[in-house]
Amino acid sequence: MSGPLVVLVGPMGVGKSSVGELLAARLGTTYRDTDADVVAEAGKPIAEIFYDEGEEHFRALERRAVAAAVAEHSGVLSLGGGAVLEGTTRELLADRPVVYLSMNVDEAVRRVGLGAARPLLAVNPRKQWRELMDARRHLYEEVARTVVPTDGRTPEEVAQAIIDALELPEGPAAPGVENTGMTQQGTTRIQVAGTAGSDPYEVLVGHQLLGELPQLIGDRAKRVAVLHPEALAETGEAVRQDLADQGYEAIAIQLPNAEEAKTVEVAAYCWKALGQTGFTRSDVIVGVGGGATTDVAGFVAASWLRGVRWIAVPTTVLGMVDAAVGGKTGINTAEGKNLVGAFHPPAGVLCDLAALDSLPVHDYVSGMAEIIKAGFIADPVILDLIEADPEGARTPAGPHTAELIERSIRVKAEVVSSDLKESGLREILNYGHTLGHAIEKNERYKWRHGAAVSIGMVFAAELGRLAGRLDDATADRHRTVLESVGLPLAYRGDQWPKLLENMKVDKKSRGDLLRFIVLDGIGKPTVLEGPDPAVLLAAYGEVSA
């Protein structure tokens, strides 16, 4: 029987896309997602289809998409969470290699958070999850050849379990095709789902990706503004020229380097340049640079005419693995870090690894802090890879550069795909940032973000340990892995009162309540609300120089 090599079914948020992409890469085949087919067909996100036309209409679109994909696709296919509700779909799946990815309710609520972007889980998520699973579990089991539990497992481990269960032959990666997975040569495409009314987009990781820009910019744009930092004046001009050669009216806007760009004055300078160019709603902003540049570019795009499209071309490790992905954009104020901003996802992200060759080593290492963060909150393989070769992790020529970057992007993509606006799950990405941002403000934004976050993570680990949540070995591992790549572990002891004051404006605070992300273990982030001031002070004592 021809048709898909594997069909993944299971509830929303179980990780069908990330597992499916990995699996396709391991099997040397392509990945297809019927939810993406429905979105393409309808021309709008699923939440909007539900809202505008109702569930019945969505199910009809989904039924057609599944029938087409089962007939046409020969790689890995994943189906929407409710596809099995349709009797005709279940018949279609009879005798197919269907895998049910299961998870328990606690894990579901943790992964999907409050589910603001999930049309069926808008209120009371725990109760609704239980009811949803009670209604669907037997249908998943009916169509499945095998059940693979995902609780506490990484996408890699789940992909391996599927390969073992179905005895699938692994094949060479197919370069240049959709979702090719991790490969140094080919281009990796990582999907970020459209949520909260935003469109889905892709993060591309590879080499020579600038050729992708015109397609992302599209035909409707007449003007393009390329925002770049002073350090990348030549690159910015080259991108501008390239776009001008393609027929766009392209301007370059040079920003100061690093945090000096993240001010309202710089944003106003950009607004002025756009106004003088006659920039309209169909025109596009391209941010070429580190996290500071893409934060400003995204913010200018979010605020100009109340929102124009933008594309991120991150040129630092930190920009690639974190800042450019997920749509948090913004600027600093004297009162605190990133206090003004908007959620405004890019239309695409191009991570050209060659850009990292010119990055000063301390900027490269700063980006490792966010990679290590992704390791602690979600993907311990990252930590293993760094510990196996800490020197290699400090340079773009290291043996695991692409894999570390791609793994970290996958962690971020998975989180922001289910919680764009930080209504729950997304807070885990703030691990180490509560104290980190306070240090940045205290240093008048002269420190590199990653250095401050490194100390912030050691502090959060000590907080977790003192709160009786984190074991000694994992807390100590923070110090060893961060130090091994050259990141700082301590800050001035006499600054605690100022740092405490600074932390009060952290975006996770509610009223007078300070909230921190801590770990119950590796890959088990959780929120610690209103810790005892004595515990906070004691934790700070552990990072005081």
Ligand X SMILES: NC(=O)c1ccc[n+]([C@@H]2O[C@H](COP(=O)([O-])OP(=O)(O)OC[C@H]3O[C@@H](n4cnc5c(N)ncnc54)[C@H](O)[C@@H]3O)[C@@H](O)[C@H]2O)c1
Binding positions are: 13-18, 35, 59, 81, 118, 136, 153, 291-295, 315-316, 328, 337, 370, 433, 449
Q: Is 179 in the active site?
A: no
Strand 6-9: give its sheet, edge to edge: 31-33, 76-78, 6-9, 98-102, 146-149
- Taking CB under 6 A as the criterion, the residue among 30, 34, 78, 338 binding ligand LNCXM5UN is 338
Kindly tell me which of 448 and 507 has the beta carbon lying closer to ligand LNCXM5UN: 507
Active-site position among 21, 62, 259, 370: 370
- Taking CB under 6 A as the criterion, the residue among 15, 314, 326, 488 binding ligand LNCXM5UN is 326
Active-site position among 26, 63, 412, 448: 412
Half-sphere exposure of 319 (CA within 13 A, CB side): 32
Total number of residues that touch ligand LNCXM5UN (CB under 6 A): 12
Active-site position among 259, 422, 427, 462: 422
| Maximal CA-CA distance, the chain | 71
Q: Is 344 in the active site?
A: no
Q: Is 433 in the active site?
A: yes
Residue 428 Cα to chain centre, angstroms: 11
Which of the residues 416 through 455 are near ligand LNCXM5UN (CB under 6 A)? 422, 426, 429-430, 433
CB of 326 to ligand LNCXM5UN, least distance (A): 5
CB of 527 to ligand LNCXM5UN, least distance (A): 13
Element of type H or E holding 226: strand 223-229
**Helix, strand, or coil here: 328?**
strand
Rg of the Cα atoms in the chain: 23
Separation of alpha carbons 273 and 277, rounded Å: 6
- Contacting residues toward ligand X, per CB under 6 A: 229, 231-232, 257-259, 262, 289-293, 295, 315-316, 318-319, 322-323, 326, 328, 338, 355, 358-359, 363, 366-367, 448-450
The entry of ligand LNCXM5UN, ligand X, none near residue 290 (CB within 5 to 8 angstroms by kind) is ligand X
Active-site position among 110, 344, 426, 524: 426
Strand 348-352: give its sheet, edge to edge: 188-192, 201-206, 348-352, 309-314, 284-289, 223-229, 249-255
In this chain, which residue has its C-beta nearest to ligand LNCXM5UN?
338
Strand partners, 285: 225, 310
**Residues in binding site for Zn(2+):** 370, 433, 449
> In 3-state terms, the chain is what percent helix, strand and coil (to 5)?
50, 15, 30
The entry of ligand LNCXM5UN, ligand X, none near residue 292 (CB within 5 to 8 angstroms by kind) is ligand X
The entry of ligand LNCXM5UN, ligand X, none near residue 430 (CB within 5 to 8 angstroms by kind) is ligand LNCXM5UN
Q: Is 328 in the active site?
A: yes
**Helix, strand, or coil here: 424?**
coil
**Residues in binding site for ATP:** 13-18, 118, 153
Buried b (16+ CB within 10 A) or exposed e, 462-478: bbbbbbebbeeebbebb
CB of 338 to ligand LNCXM5UN, least distance (A): 3
Q: Euclidean distance between the first and final Cα of the chain, in Å?
A: 66
SS3 readout for 461-509: HHHHHHCCCCCHHHHHHHHHHHHHCCCCCCECHHHHHHHHHHHCCCCCC
The entry of ligand LNCXM5UN, ligand X, none near residue 125 (CB within 5 to 8 angstroms by kind) is none
Specify the length of the chain in residues. Answer: 545
Provide φ and ψ at 137, rounded to 5°.
-55, -45
Q: Is 406 in the active site?
A: no
CB of 323 to ligand LNCXM5UN, least distance (A): 7
Active-site position among 56, 91, 167, 306: 306
Q: Is 64 in the active site?
A: no
Kindly tell me which of 171 and 307 has the beta carbon lying closer to ligand X: 307
The token duo for 244 is 């001008």
The entry of ligand LNCXM5UN, ligand X, none near residue 257 (CB within 5 to 8 angstroms by kind) is ligand X
**Helix, strand, or coil here: 180?**
coil
Provide φ and ψ at 351, rounded to 5°.
-100, 95
**Which x/- pattern over 305-324 shows residues binding ligand LNCXM5UN (rule: CB under 6 A)?**
-----------------x--
CA separation, residue 176 to residues 29, 320, 524 (Å): 11, 20, 34
The entry of ligand X, ligand LNCXM5UN, none near residue 507 (CB within 5 to 8 angstroms by kind) is ligand LNCXM5UN
CB of 102 to ligand LNCXM5UN, least distance (A): 28
Kindly tell me which of 128 and 303 has the beta carbon lying closer to ligand X: 303
Cβ neighbours of residue 211 under 8 Å, at least 6 residues apart? none
**Residues in binding site for substrate:** 35, 59, 81, 136
Element of type H or E holding 255: strand 249-255
Q: Is 426 in the active site?
A: yes
The token duo for 198 is 């935003």
Kindly tell me which of 328 and 524 has the beta carbon lying closer to ligand LNCXM5UN: 328
Separation of alpha carbons 184 and 65, rounded Å: 33
Kindly tell me which of 16 and 337 has the beta carbon lying closer to ligand LNCXM5UN: 337
Which of the residues 366 through 385 are near ligand LNCXM5UN (CB under 6 A)? 370
- Taking CB under 6 A as the criterion, the residue among 507, 518, 528, 540 binding ligand LNCXM5UN is 507
Q: Which among 355, 364, 363 is positioned nearest to 204, based on CA atoms?
A: 355
Residues lying near ligand LNCXM5UN in the complex (CB under 6 A) are found at: 322, 326, 328, 337-338, 370, 422, 426, 429-430, 433, 507
Residues classed as catalytic? 306, 328, 370, 412, 422, 426, 430, 433, 437, 449
